[in-house]
Structures are given as structure tokens and as C-alpha cells.
Amino acid sequence: MKDLHKSLGGGVGTFLALSTILGSGMMILPGTSYHTLARSAWMPWAVAALAVVPLLYCYAWLGRRHPSAAGVAHYAEVAFNPSLARTSGTAATFALMAGIPATALTGGRYLAEFTGSAPLTWLFPLLVLCAATAVAYAGTGVSGRLQVALVLALFAMVVTVALVALGSSGFEAPSTRLPPAGSFGMVLTAVFVAFTGWETVAFTFEEHKRPDIIPRVFAASYVIVVALYGLLLLSLFATVDPGEEGLNSAPLMLLAERALGDLGRPVAVVLVTGVITANVLASVLALSRLVFGMARSGHLPSALVRLRERDANPVTAVLAVGALLILIALLSTSGLVPLEHLFTFSGGVYFVLYGVGAAAFARLATGGVARAVTLLCAVTVIGVTLLAGPSMWLCWGLFAVLAVVVVLTRRSGPRTAEAERTRV
């Protein structure tokens, strides 16, 4: 069986996780939640941050014991059967194929608004997707080093802007007033998207030198993400009125302008460009690994399994993924595929895959802690699904339809060697 080269250490793995998680959600969601709930906006963020912990525990546990490029698809096969594996892997592929172009297009819209140059709406997404494909083709080592540099620079910029804003405007204490239930549920559903991405990181676990430190990678990236979101919210509370319309479209620009004056706009442009670039680099790399893993398990054409000899990089999968992502971005910029639909579908399926991972954990893990984590996961998955409403229900329905199609079209055959080798 062809395996990927184990080249990732814990430090680079943590930065890859941060690049995957800190995407368009960081640019928009702090502002939209503040605009809706004022200084009570911290409450849904706190609930989402706590609710995601048991789900992350499941993925960290699974990744440590079953590191595979197929991620959730492999966990589903080890715990259940090849049909659920194929369904989960196909759903994950569709979600990333929708989410990555949507993130790139969001960056293009931001930059077009900031600079007044309308062509950036379509030019930036194409450039960043081509660059991400080239970087993934160069290999995990090149991609990892670039993302470390990008995330360090972005983290320094965000922290500096937030601290300057707090220092110049003073601290505004968050409100303890409970918001209306309807508004709270709507915002909670939206901000939960800001805590997705770790299931995407799982597609790179096969390349970790030491799978035993994967839980530490998750823990470190989680703490940094929560701290960064909290700092952004507090700085918005201090510098921007919750009624300002700009919070729904460009909250980072408002914050940078209040903190840095005339330097705010160019800083915001650099920040948005960097966040989107880092996220797309990490996501394209992860998607190429998923496609490779699915092909290796027999769920996609065998041509996608080809590895470059010198570094075991799945270059055919990388090129196929890059071409499809660019095509989807072009279709979306032409108006044939609405950007909002890409985000809704992608975010909903990501959450469904969290549920699949939790179910695999419940099947494989034993003991009192495992039962407690499983119960917490069930509460989270059911609660968020009910609060989210029809859009989330549709994603669960699409997953069920896909599962039926897979069962009806599956080819008979033995369990794959990969799953049989790791089954517990």
C-alpha cells in the first residue's frame, strides 16, 4: 500500500491547523455577531467554543490511533463499513470543493471593496488557487514553512491592531444581558462555523512524524483560536458602535481604521490577503490528501494514487484538485454558482462530518470518559442541528441521500487492506 511521507512535526502541524481554521469566519463573524447581539455577542462564541471541545477530543483520539489521509472516511470504515466510508469521504470532498473557492472569492470581494478595483473580485481567487496548487505540488515541507511564516505574521498583526485599539479606546466590559432566544440561536449557528476546520486538518495526519502528539496539536491550536476570537470581540466592543453597517461586511477594516487611522485600510488589505492565502494553502493541501486517500481505498480512480518518487507527494491528486477548484471559482464568479450557497453547503456538511467522527469514536473507544464524551457530542450535534434549522437539516438529508446512492451503486468486494490493518 502506498503511504505518504511522514514529514510533519508538532510545531508545523499546529500552524497548519491554525491556517485551516482561521479563514473567512475570522474576517466576518465577529462583526456580524456584534452587530446582531451588541456586547452580548460573546455568549454564542463562548457556547460554541465549549461545545466543540468533545468533538475535537473525538478527532484527536481518532487521529492519534488511526492517522490516515482519508481522515473521517477512514475512521468511518474502521468503525463501521466501506459504504459509510465512501459516503463520508465523498461528502467531505464536496464540502471542501465548495468551501475553498468560497473562501477565495470572499477574499476577492474584500479586496475589491477595499481597493476599488472590481477585477480583483475574480482575479484574486484565481491567483490564490493557482498559487495554492503550485505550493501543494511543491510538497508538504514547502507548504508548511510558508504557512508558519504567514500565520506568525498575521497573528502579530491582529494582536497589535487589537491591543492598540484597546489601548486607545479603553476596555468595554461584555454585557451579561441574555439576548432573545431566536437571535442567539441564529448567531450560534453562524459562529459555530468559526470552530470548524479540525476535521479538515485530519487529512494531513498520515504525514505526522509522531501521531501521539496530535492531541497536543489540537489543544494548542484550539487555545490560540479561542484567544484570538476573544481579543477581536473585545477590541470591537471598545472601538466600534454595534449599529454600524460596516460590521456586516468589513469588521476588520473598521477595527484597523479605528486603531491605526490612515494606516488602517492598507493594514486590513494585507491582513485579509494573508488570512485567505493561508487558509486556501492549508485547505488545498488537505483536500489533495483526502482525494489521494479515497483513491487508495478504491473509492476514486486509481490514477489519483500516483506519488512522486522523491518525496511521496500525490501530485496527480494535487493537480486534479487545483483544476476543479479553479473551475468552480470561475463558475461562481460568473454567477452560475451563488457564493452564499457554497458557504451554506460547505459549513453544513463540515458539521455533519463532525457527527460522523463522533459516531466512529463512540464505536471504537471504551471506558467511562469515552461514554461521557459521546454523550456531550450527541447533545452538541442534536442541539446545533435543531437550532440551525432547515439549512442544516438539508445537509443531513443530502448526506442520507448520498449514503443511499453509495449503497445502491457499491461494488462488492472485501474490506480494504488499510481498514483491515487498523481495525480494533
Tens-level pLDDT at each residue, the chain (424 residues): 578 888 888 889 999 999 888 876 787 889 889 999 999 999 999 998 998 999 999 999 999 999 999 999 999 999 999 999 999 999 999 989 988 988 888 888 878 877 888 888 889 999 999 999 999 999 888 888 898 998 899 888 889 998 998 888 878 788 888 888 778 877 887 788 788 888 889 999 999 999 999 999 999 999 999 999 999 999 999 999 998 878 877 788 888 888 888 888 888 888 888 889 999 999 999 999 999 999 998 888 999 999 998 888 999 999 999 999 999 888 877 766 666 667 777 878 888 998 999 999 999 999 999 999 999 999 988 988 887 778 788 889 999 999 999 988 875 444 444 444 444 3
Q: Per the structure block, which three cell numbers stand in for 89? A: 469521504
Query: What's residue 386's pLDDT?
Result: 85
Query: What's residue 417's pLDDT?
Result: 44
Q: Per the structure block, which three cell numbers stand in for 267? A: 493594514
- Cα 67 versus chain centre, distance: 18
Query: What's residue 216's pLDDT?
Result: 94
pLDDT tens digit sequence for 301-337: 999 999 998 888 999 999 999 999 999 888 877 766 6
**Cα(209)–Cα(13) distance, integer angstroms:** 10
DSSP 270-312: HHHHHHHHHHHHHHHHHHHHHHHHHHHTTSS-GGGG--BTTTT
How far apart, in Å, are the Cα atoms of 30 and each of 198, 237, 377? 20, 10, 25
Q: Per the structure block, which three cell numbers stand in for 99? A: 468551501
3-state secondary structure 123-192: HHHHHHHHHHHHHHHHCHHHHHHHHHHHHHHHHHHHHHHHHHHHHHHCCCCCCCCCCCHHHHHHHHHHHH
How far apart, in Å, are the Cα atoms of 26 and each of 22, 60, 267? 6, 23, 15
Contacts of residue 256, defined as CB under 8 A and 6 or more positions apart, other chains included, come to: 161, 263, 264, 265, 267, 268, 271
Q: Does domain 10-422 have CATH number 2.40.160.10?
A: no
Contacts of residue 387, defined as CB under 8 A and 6 or more positions apart, other chains included, come to: 185, 188, 189
**Cα(53)–Cα(70) distance, integer angstroms:** 22
DSSP 344-375: HHHHHHHHHHHHHHHHHHHHH--SHHHHHHHH
Do residues 5 and 311 lie in contact, with contact meaning Cβ atoms separated by under 8 Å?
yes
**Cα(122)–Cα(404) distance, integer angstroms:** 37
Query: What's residue 337's pLDDT?
Result: 62
Query: What's residue 78's pLDDT?
Result: 95
**Cα(49)–Cα(223) distance, integer angstroms:** 10
**Cα(200)–Cα(95) distance, integer angstroms:** 10
Selection from 347, 424, 342, 421 nearest residue 388 by Cα:
347
Query: What's residue 422's pLDDT?
Result: 45
**Cα(211)–Cα(241) distance, integer angstroms:** 46
Q: Assign 334 to helix, strand or coil.
A: coil
**Cα(59)–Cα(71) distance, integer angstroms:** 9
Identity (one letter) of the amino acid at 271? L
**Cα(317)–Cα(54) distance, integer angstroms:** 32
DSSP 56-119: HHHHHHHHHHS--TTTHHHHHHHHT-HHHHHHHHHHHHHHHHHHHHHHHHHHHHHHHHHH--TT
Q: Assign 241 to helix, strand or coil.
A: coil
Rounded to the nearest 5°, which phi and psi values hold at 349? Answer: -70, -35
- Rounded to two decimals, the pTM is 0.87
Q: Per the structure block, which three cell numbers stand in for 12? A: 508545523
Selection from 135, 131, 111, 134 nearest residue 121 by Cα:
111
Rounded to the nearest 5°, which phi and psi values hold at 111? Answer: -65, -35
- Cα 412 versus chain centre, distance: 34
